[in-house]
Amino acid sequence: MSQPQSQPMSPPFDGGAASAAYRNALKVIESVEPTVAGAIRSELADQRESLKLIASENYASPAVLLTMGTWLSDKYAEGTIGHRFYAGCQNIDTVEQAAAEHAKALFGAPHAYVQPHSGIDANLVAFWAILAQRIESPALAKAGAKHVNDLTAEDWETLRRELGNQRALGMSLDAGGHLTHGFRPNISGKMFEQSSYGTDPETGLLDYAAVRAAAREFRPLILIAGYSAYPRRVDFAKMREIADEVGAVLMVDMAHFAGLVAGKVLTGDFDPVPHAHVVTTTTHKSLRGPRGGMVLCQPEFADAVDRGCPMVLGGPLGQVMAAKAVALAEARQPAFRIYAQAVADNAVTLAEGLAKRGARLVTGGTDNHLVLIDVTSFGLTGRQAESALLDAGIVTNRNAVPRDPNGAWYTSGVRIGTPALTSRGFGADDFDRVAELIVDVLTGTTPSAAASGAASKAKYSIAEGVAAKTRDAAGELLARNPLYPGLELD
């Protein structure tokens, strides 16, 4: 027997009012640039007609989306609440304050900074705030100055030498870390003398003893925890112990799993906010807000974090901060906890469905919101698997696996996640069916040779009829779980 039909996890909205709002908006846009209006319409259609399994994507509510299309966009507001470099910022102060208060209440954080435009921007703010708090303050004290503007050229030269010799220790990219955790081509890998910790070669799990040993040897200023492709929980209490032992600042990037923290799925030792000195996040992904970033921190870092603009950031985006406030208000509602738990439960169902059909999973499963498939068991690269799944209407992204022989471009894995389809109301039976469809496509896909006859890491072929059959089956699932039901553009 199939499951009872689940209800969409998106916040409730008036479909008729939303339809009228978007129809009118599109008419205005179309009168100026029809191509853009057409692309907006097509994007909604594409998202409605595909199985969105990219772990870092979700669906924001119409209230969040509509908030971004307002005249708050037209105001410059460099600075912080009550201390701007432009006049007339009282309304920006209001929305920024609302977003910060919601964030503090939602996560139990002493301080929140909601200006970052993205997760990378949030990490840059955090890095420089830590450097400022740990380096500028001693420099000021040594020089007998009260403000950085009082430092002499000689003081700054000393400071620059100090800044050029800082160390950061983060999770390696192939183990599931993010490129902003010290990956050499990224600015984080150029700001710091950097080293990485990985995962156990046999289990794929974090080895805290190995992290401790690496920290003792490397003595980092910043120990970075968090991930973008690690399918397990992290014990942040242990990470804080390690940081304290070596005198490091514990910085946690929870961009991927912030929704699970907000929804109280990750608590105690697995909630980073009580344990980290500084926490960064995006506000979309599992948190289901607008594209943007945010920094939470302990009081000792608050002043430095609040200097994100103009230290690192340009002018804050008032319309996006307002949308963050709306999304965070939504996340404080009881329904969001139900949603977050469903995200985690559905990920387990998806992992079990894949494993029982023969897929090889990194770490053997999941206990967060994402699953990482090692597609070499199907004879494919990540790029081939990603492309074949897309042909069949399943949107994923290729991803490196630990010690990946195919590197970061072609990869050997595919990362999938449950936040978006859970927002549509997908439940256990739905995700088991999704697992079946994924395995059917990967089993029916074979590598193709390049034009030269050599083996290709990109070319592939799908057995006849597999893609069409999968699209039809996906269409049935999507029809039972409509996206923004009641919202019609025509």
Q: What is the pLDDT of residues 179-219, one digit of tens each?
A: 777 776 777 777 778 889 999 999 999 999 999 999 999 99
Catalytic residue among 52, 285, 288, 324: 285
The confidence score (pLDDT) of residue 191 equals 77
Q: Is 104 a residue of the active site?
A: no
The confidence score (pLDDT) of residue 6 equals 44
Catalytic residue among 282, 363, 366, 422: 282
The confidence score (pLDDT) of residue 152 equals 77
The confidence score (pLDDT) of residue 176 equals 77
Q: Is 78 a residue of the active site?
A: yes
The confidence score (pLDDT) of residue 5 equals 39
346 contacts: CB under 8 Å, gap ≥ 6: 418, 421, 422, 426, 427, 428, 431
| Gap between the terminal Cα atoms of the chain | 37
**Positions of the chain with pLDDT under 70:** 1-13, 139, 146, 148-149, 156, 159-165, 184
Catalytic residue among 121, 136, 253, 432: 253
Cα–Cα distance between 275 and 242 in angstroms, integer? 11
Given a contact cutoff of 8 angstroms between Cβ atoms, the answer to whether 248 and 223 are in contact is yes
Task: Give the CATH fold of the 72-331 domain.
Answer: Aspartate Aminotransferase; domain 2 (3.40.640)
The confidence score (pLDDT) of residue 215 equals 96
Comparing 72-331 with 335-480, is the CATH topology the same?
Answer: no
Closest listed residue to residue 93, CA positions, set 82, 85, 101, 104:
82
CB-neighbour burial class of residue 16 (10 A; exposed 0-12, middle 13-18, buried 19+):
exposed
Q: Is 291 a residue of the active site?
A: yes
Catalytic residue among 48, 76, 158, 300: 76
Q: Is 253 a residue of the active site?
A: yes
Task: Give the CATH fold of the 335-480 domain.
Answer: Aspartate Aminotransferase, domain 1 (3.90.1150)
The confidence score (pLDDT) of residue 148 equals 66
Q: Is 469 a residue of the active site?
A: no
Catalytic residue among 57, 78, 241, 367: 78
Domain map (residue ranges) of the chain: 72-331, 335-480
What is each CA distance from 147 to 79, 86, 139, in whole angstroms?
A: 17, 22, 10
pTM exceeding 0.75: yes
Q: Is 285 a residue of the active site?
A: yes
The confidence score (pLDDT) of residue 250 equals 97
Closest listed residue to residue 222, CA positions, set 268, 179, 253, 200:
253
Catalytic residue among 291, 332, 469, 471: 291
Token pair recorded at residue 49: 């007609």
In the chain, count H helices and then E strands. 20, 17
